[in-house]
Amino acid sequence: MRIERSKNREYTKRPGYLRAVLANVEVKNTSQYLGVLHVIIPKGRSSDKHYHSNLKEIFIPLTEGVIGVENQEFRVFPDEIIIVDEKEVHWAKALDDCDFRLIAIKVPDISNDRVSVSDDDT
């Protein structure tokens, strides 16, 4: 068993949000890992639209917010699970009155597998 504590994590700035890596979890019988991230999107802000070529992302909201996938936006709530497949354009957006906090799980955890997309591309 491992307990990964988020309170002493270092957050890095990303386009429109902050994130901290909470854990890397090895997938048994492979050389792959899962990436577990804590993401904070400040109230009234959103991440950039992007996709991943070779990984899926699983989002677990800790507060209420919005997840956009392709050309749709979905209001999401704590305890829901959102699964975004490879190559699906997505973004996250905080409501105007509170930060949007969520856990993001990258399956598998591949560095630099992120392609930003402009609104003209969607």
Q: Report the CATH number at residue 41.
A: 2.60.120.10
In a domain, 19, yes or no: yes
Report the run of H or E that residue 92 belongs to, with start and end: strand 90-93
Q: Which domain does 82 fall in, by range?
A: 12-110
Is residue 29 in a domain? yes
Per-residue model confidence as pLDDT tens for the chain (122 residues):
566 766 778 889 988 999 888 887 888 888 889 999 999 999 999 999 999 999 999 999 999 999 999 999 999 999 799 999 999 999 999 999 999 999 999 999 998 999 999 876 65
DSSP state of 3: -
CA dist 4 and 25 (Å) reads 11
Does residue 30 form part of some domain? Answer: yes
Domain assignment present for residue 117? The answer is no
Number of domains in the chain: 1
Residue 44: φ, ψ to 5°: 75, 0
Instruction: Look at residue 121 and tell me if it is in a domain.
Output: no
Closest C-alpha among 38, 22, 36 to residue 99? 38
